[in-house]
């Protein structure tokens, strides 16, 4: 039972996190340029002389990741890359993944998944359990190049793709934005859209990319009716996402309409619309959210995002994720920065407003672990 | 004259608040479920195992309200409810209402007002003066089931309903949102809309609910021309309000157009669009705003909302309200959390930026009391 | 090399700022009313009894400007105005401009420039180098009353106006808002729009004011193709700007489309959309932004805006400006409040997160000076 600041921090550091939205990692040695590219992915590095090493994320790597590799804090990018190569990517992965202190990762395998190591290797390297998230649009893109026919065929592909998955992921934000009608699309409209997409795709020799809004909405409603939790990318991402169209509030009508289904919906990232997501989580019984990705990219300001996430929503509606991609550093940094930020916020409340330390710890455990266990039924 | 932190806090605690937007309270003993429902009202409690007792508002009740009932801080919800029953609702009301330290309440009686105790009983219980706010849409809904004819008949109902009121309240945010045209509706359009609504209502056996945008706008302009202050719900509320359509910035065109009328307009709640409201209050001479409701629901983060409210707008344009509804706890918590938050912000400025303590106190008195006295002509 | 808090602050105070967006000043003695008007410009003072002297900006003038004139902090507005007159406007200008500690000012001469002292006098008074920013809409308004014909004629006026300028300024936010199509307008549409505007202007005896969206967009693309940095007003301004339409995110499509041109784009002010601007600066290699104007008007809360500006964007993408207009106080306050705010944020990171003092100073130097030197090629 923590009774003081240092005890509270130590107890928070011991929470076995559930990282409820994350990607796998590469097992590559990286040059300095490749490391910068991986840190800025999926967007381009800044115009010189700016560099991503001079950013919250770059400073965090030098500050917190360097010691995990046995370097002093704020080692230079050059010495960091050299040390990374010296240890080898497999050992680097092992160190960072284990340092995250997570028991469970929910892995979205839908995005350029073949560059990344398989789930079993990831679980082995990190010493945690890996669960699978099925990306809806990726399943539809398998359908369009398959022989399956119409809505029934698509739904069969979805069902098959969903086998063993603990939840779904929608990237509607990247496929036209979140300004979606409240109601599900009419079945005949879905059939027509599927026919049109199949025809169009046959004339192309590029990989399929779903952008048809009727089909995007069909996938969402299919998943909402399935009942397993549905994740939505909201807020910031790479520049082919129009951030103005990724405000989670744009989903409000749809989420209200879907409320009776009682399917958990989890809003991911949310930055800079964290308070907007907190509102949805407050007023809609089955809506959850996180500030994953955000807590990695805004570094020492993660405390601000975490503080905002604890404003309007019940503490039982906030989740933890890293949204790490490719670099094992990001799995670790997400965890480390979240632990630091949640401790700062809760300890402020302990010192300035008299919250008991055990209540503070309980809130941290809800967010870092228990809420996800309940929403995804991991136990 | 305060000269130090503790003096400043004590002086702020002594300010006789004008709570410029609040509802009356119930005089019921409550079960634990009923208390949770009242705390989440008007939206549903979160899906289990989440509970509103684990939220900023829930923690605030346990932390600050329990001692008012003679319990230790962070008493359990169960013991809190038991103690509430033991004291009886009338005594509970008396304690919380008096602990708020308010001299004047401006009460919006337009929302489910019959569940709540009458103004005279409220004034008696709290030892403060109660003033009335007339809700525009409620008056129109009385018109539609009356015999009064057309615009003239509606305006007569409005005039009569406004007798003795110190101001008006618009819930346009709930009746189609704030994306309203700048100009008043044409008189013939209002006549036509009224005819249509009356006809439609005659075919129904449900209580009337105004959603016609032309009539909603007519009510706003009627009130703006009256000259008494007009309050607008903006920002968060229950889920039948689309938060994206409740950004006070959507009113900018209308407020610019109405500026020459010099009628005070007060933007209520505003969260998460507090800075947007501050901008409108800064650039438009007769626009005021508050962070009421917000300061109740975001608990220890009220300091963030209060800090944001003191960015762009002159201090003479910020008001205090609790927006309490049904629970006397909320009248008290609104006051307590505002006093704590404004003290924190002002004392930071005193310590870090050299603001004299007497200037800090003057700012707190403006916001907690003087600005509302001037805008609503309460003296 | 700074090693502690006080050293870091002193080193930040010594940075020779590049104020990359500012206007010239008047050389007038001012009455108290005129001073209030100048502080609220370009919008009207608040309805009485509110006064802009009771605002963050008013408190900042009394707190930080009074001592520059030899008065105690928090001198009254009356004694401040008297002391200003006693010293004379020229001496007042000299004191504040020099106290800003800037080496270079980039001056936008496009807005009511003839009320303000010429660049040479400004440079002389302040002891800094003055560079010129060409305001695009002002040049077009010279074209419409000239004999120059069509797009070729307009482009010739633009080229001539741009001689010697280090960059451009667009006030599209004031001329219809930032909700602009991504692509450049078709040449024939520009020709038609110019013809129409010329014809329309000939029938008027008011000064021209460009609001045609096709021409506004032509100016932007002309400047983007020129290659010198293009500044956009974004975020708050006076009330004829609809703030909802001044969100920098509305420019995302256009900025993505223009990315291949590699022209630096700088988003000005940005409040309350600072995080949105930071996102654009993070994902688009040539986009920069500042919190100028903001840091003047929100006073002691400038620290919040500065903290938000250091979240997502690389530190090499953030610039400094005061956006001072007319009052030399604003050149000084912008600098003083930025130095205080950036110190607070960086020193927090030093104390709480272990950022080395020399890294903190390097970040401050990037933002206060080096980034602008690189983007505008001032060396």
pLDDT in tens, C99-143: 999 999 999 987 766 789 999 999 999 999 999 999 999 999 999
CA dihedral for B265, B266, B272, B278, sign (positive or negative): positive
The chains in contact with chain B, meaning 3 or more Cβ pairs closer than 8 Å, are A, C
Q: Verify whether the Cβ–Cβ distance A236 to C371 is below 8 Å.
A: no
Q: Verify whether the Cβ–Cβ distance B354 to C73 is below 8 Å.
A: yes
Region C17-37: mean pLDDT is 94
From A195, A160, A178, A198, select the one nearest A252 (Cα to Cα): A178
Which residues from C are below 8 Å from A when comparing CB atoms? 247, 249-250, 252-253, 256, 259, 262, 264, 275-276, 279-280, 282-286, 307-308, 310-317, 348-349, 352-356, 359, 362-363, 366, 370-371, 374
Q: What percent of chain A has pLDDT over 90?
A: 92
From B233, B229, B226, select the one nearest B251 (Cα to Cα): B233
Region A301-310: mean pLDDT is 96
DSSP B265: E
Dig out the tokens for C378 from the structure.
């001032």
From the candidates A247, A298, A303, which should be mutated to test the interface with C, based on the most C CB atoms within 10 A?
A: A298
Sheet holding A102-108, edge to edge: A17-22, A102-108, A129-135, A165-170, A230-234, A265-269, A287-290, A318-319
Region A85-97: mean pLDDT is 97
For residues B150 and B191, give the distance between their C-alpha atoms in angstroms, rounded to a whole number. Answer: 6
Residue among A285, A348, A355 whose CB faces B45 most closely:
A285
Give φ, ψ of A116 to 5 degrees.
Answer: -110, 160
Q: Verify whether the Cβ–Cβ distance A298 to C317 is below 8 Å.
A: no
C228 to each of B251, C105, C117, C167, how far by Cα in Å?
37, 16, 25, 5
* Contacting residues for C204 by C-beta, under 8 A, at least 6 apart: none
Q: What percent of chain A has pLDDT over 70?
A: 99
For residues C308 and C289, give the distance between their C-alpha atoms in angstroms, rounded to a whole number. Answer: 12
CA dihedral for C119, C123, C125, C126, sign (positive or negative): positive
Min mean pLDDT across A35-44, A226-235, B363-372, C147-156 is at A35-44
Q: How many CB pairs under 8 A join A and C?
A: 96
From the candidates B46, B56, B177, B303, which should be mutated to test the interface with A, based on the most A CB atoms within 10 A?
A: B46
Q: What is the CA radius of gyration of chain A?
A: 21
Region C178-199: mean pLDDT is 98
The chains in contact with chain C, meaning 3 or more Cβ pairs closer than 8 Å, are A, B
**Chain A positions in Cβ-Cβ contact with residue C310 (cut-off 8 Å):** 56, 301
For residues B275 and B309, give the distance between their C-alpha atoms in angstroms, rounded to a whole number. Answer: 6
Residue B280 contacts residue B252 (beta carbons within 8 Å) = yes
For residues A198 and C5, give the distance between their C-alpha atoms in angstroms, rounded to a whole number. Answer: 64
E-assigned strand segments in chain C = 17-22, 102-108, 129-135, 165-170, 230-234, 265-269, 287-290, 318-319
Dig out the tokens for A369 from the structure.
């672990």
From C295, C301, C366, select the one nearest C324 (Cα to Cα): C295
* Contacting residues for A25 by C-beta, under 8 A, at least 6 apart: A93, A97, A116, A117, A122, A125, A324, A326, A327, A328, A331
Rounded to 5°, the CA angle C113-C238-C344 comes to 95
For residues B157 and C112, give the distance between their C-alpha atoms in angstroms, rounded to a whole number. Answer: 50
Q: Helices H, strands E: what count in chain A?
A: 18, 8
For residues B53 and A237, give the distance between their C-alpha atoms in angstroms, rounded to a whole number. Answer: 34
Residue among B47, B73, B243 whose CB faces A279 most closely:
B243
SS3 C170: strand
From the candidates A59, A237, A343, A347, which should be mutated to test the interface with C, based on the most C CB atoms within 10 A?
A: A59
Q: Verify whether the Cβ–Cβ distance A249 to B243 is below 8 Å.
A: yes
Q: What percent of chain C has pLDDT over 70?
A: 99
Distance from CA of A261 to the nearest CA of C (A): 34
Confidence of residue A115 (pLDDT cuts 50, 70, 90): confident
**Chain A positions in Cβ-Cβ contact with residue C262 (cut-off 8 Å):** 47
pTM: 0.97
Confidence of residue C98 (pLDDT cuts 50, 70, 90): very high
**Chain C positions in Cβ-Cβ contact with residue A74 (cut-off 8 Å):** 354-356, 359
Sheet holding C230-234, edge to edge: C17-22, C102-108, C129-135, C165-170, C230-234, C265-269, C287-290, C318-319
Dig out the tokens for C364 from the structure.
């401050």
A214-218 LR contacts (CB < 8 Å, sep 24+): A214/A185, A214/A189, A214/A190, A215/A140, A215/A190, A216/A137, A216/A170, A216/A172, A216/A175, A216/A176, A216/A180, A217/A172, A217/A180, A217/A181, A217/A184, A217/A185, A218/A151, A218/A154, A218/A184, A218/A185, A218/A190, A218/A193
Quick one: closest CA in B to A356, which residue? B74
Residue among A55, A63, A301 whose CB faces C314 most closely:
A55
At B6 the pLDDT is: 79
Residue among B249, B316, B348 whose CB faces C49 most closely:
B316
Quick one: closest CA in A to C364, which residue? A54
Residue A133 contacts residue A161 (beta carbons within 8 Å) = no
Dig out the tokens for C158 from the structure.
């633009």
Quick one: closest CA in A to B73, which residue? A354
At B115 the pLDDT is: 83
Estimate the crossing angle of helix B150-161 against helix B187-202, to 10 degrees.
80
For residues A288 and C302, give the distance between their C-alpha atoms in angstroms, rounded to a whole number. Answer: 32
Dig out the tokens for B259 from the structure.
């500026």
Quick one: closest CA in A to C250, which residue? A244
Dig out the tokens for C343 from the structure.
């110190």
B318, β-bridge pairs: B289
At A114 the pLDDT is: 74
Distance from CA of A151 to the nearest CA of C (A): 33
Q: Is the pLDDT of residue C3 over 80?
A: no
**Chain A positions in Cβ-Cβ contact with residue C317 (cut-off 8 Å):** 46, 50
Residue among A54, A74, A244 whose CB faces C314 most closely:
A54
From the candidates A245, A265, A279, which should be mutated to test the interface with B, based on the most B CB atoms within 10 A?
A: A279
At C113 the pLDDT is: 65
Residue among A253, A279, A354 whose CB faces B63 most closely:
A354
CB atoms within 10 A of CB A154: 24
At C379 the pLDDT is: 87
Confidence of residue A112 (pLDDT cuts 50, 70, 90): low
For residues B317 and B371, give the distance between their C-alpha atoms in angstroms, rounded to a whole number. Answer: 7
Q: What is the pLDDT along chain B (379 residues), one digit of tens a residue?
A: 676 777 999 999 999 999 999 999 999 889 999 999 999 876 889 999 999 999 999 999 999 999 999 999 999 999 999 999 999 999 999 999 999 999 999 999 877 667 899 999 999 999 999 999 999 999 999 999 999 999 999 999 999 999 999 999 999 999 999 999 999 999 999 999 999 999 999 999 999 999 999 999 999 999 999 999 999 999 998 888 999 999 999 999 999 999 999 999 999 999 999 999 999 999 999 999 999 888 789 999 999 999 999 999 999 999 999 999 999 999 999 999 999 999 999 999 999 999 999 999 999 999 999 999 999 999 8
3-state helix, strand, coil in chain C (%, to 5): 55, 10, 35
Dig out the tokens for B40 from the structure.
């989440």
At B369 the pLDDT is: 98
From A72, A71, A70, A40, select the one nearest A57 (Cα to Cα): A40
SS3 A66: helix
* Contacting residues for A261 by C-beta, under 8 A, at least 6 apart: A224, A225, A227
From the candidates B312, B372, B376, which should be mutated to test the interface with C, based on the most C CB atoms within 10 A?
A: B312
**Chain A positions in Cβ-Cβ contact with residue C249 (cut-off 8 Å):** 242-244
Region A342-361: mean pLDDT is 97
Q: Is the pLDDT of residue A223 over 70?
A: yes
From C273, C279, C278, C271, select the one nearest C295 (Cα to Cα): C271
Tokens 């205090």 belong to residue: B320
Counting Cβ atoms within 10 Å, is residue C87 exposed (0-12), middle (13-18) or buried (19+)? middle
For residues B185 and A135, give the distance between their C-alpha atoms in angstroms, rounded to a whole number. Answer: 48
Residue B329 contacts residue B297 (beta carbons within 8 Å) = no
Q: Verify whether the Cβ–Cβ distance C308 to A301 is below 8 Å.
A: yes
From A177, A355, A182, A148, select the one nearest A255 (Cα to Cα): A182
């Amino acid at each position: 039972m923590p009774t003081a600041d240092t005890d509270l921090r130590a107890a928070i550091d011991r929470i076995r996190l559930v990282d409820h939205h994350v990607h796998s990692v590469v097992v590559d040695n990286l040059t300095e340029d490749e490391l910068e590219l991986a840190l800025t992915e999926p967007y381009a590095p800044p115009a010189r002389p700016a560099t991503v090493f001079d950013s919250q994320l770059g400073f965090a790597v030098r500050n917190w990741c360097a010691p995990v590799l046995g370097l002093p804090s704020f080692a230079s990018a050059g010495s960091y890359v050299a040390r990374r190569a010296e240890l080898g990517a497999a050992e680097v992965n092992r160190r960072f993944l284990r340092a995250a202190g997570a028991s469970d990762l929910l892995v979205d395998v839908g995005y350029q998944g073949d560059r990344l190591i398989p789930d079993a290797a990831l679980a082995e390297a990190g010493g945690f359990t890996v669960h699978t998230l099925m990306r809806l649009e990726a399943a539809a893109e398998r359908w369009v190049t398959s022989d399956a026919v119409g809505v029934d065929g698509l739904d069969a592909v979805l069902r098959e793709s969903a086998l063993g998955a603990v939840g779904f992921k929608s990237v509607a934000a990247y496929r036209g934005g979140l300004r979606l009608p409240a109601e599900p699309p009419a079945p005949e409209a879905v059939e027509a859209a599927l026919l049109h997409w199949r025809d169009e795709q046959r004339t192309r020799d590029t990989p399929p990319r779903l952008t048809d809004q009727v089909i995007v909405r069909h996938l969402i409603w299919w998943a909402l009716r399935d009942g397993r939790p549905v994740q939505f990318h909201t807020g910031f991402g790479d520049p082919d996402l129009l951030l103005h169209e990724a405000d989670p509030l744009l989903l409000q009508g749809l989420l209200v309409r879907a409320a009776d289904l009682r399917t958990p919906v989890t809003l991911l990232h949310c930055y800079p619309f964290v308070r907007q997501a907190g509102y949805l989580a407050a007023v809609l019984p089955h809506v959850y959210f996180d500030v994953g990705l955000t807590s990695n990219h805004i570094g020492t300001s993660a405390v601000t995002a975490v503080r905002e996430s604890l404003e309007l929503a019940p503490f039982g509606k906030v989740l933890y994720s890293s949204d790490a991609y490719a670099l094992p550093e990001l799995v670790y940094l997400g965890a480390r920065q979240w632990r630091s930020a949640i401790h700062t916020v809760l300890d402020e409340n302990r010192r300035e407003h008299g919250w008991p330390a055990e209540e503070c710890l309980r809130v941290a455990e809800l967010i870092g672990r228990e809420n996800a266990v309940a929403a995804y039924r991991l136990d």
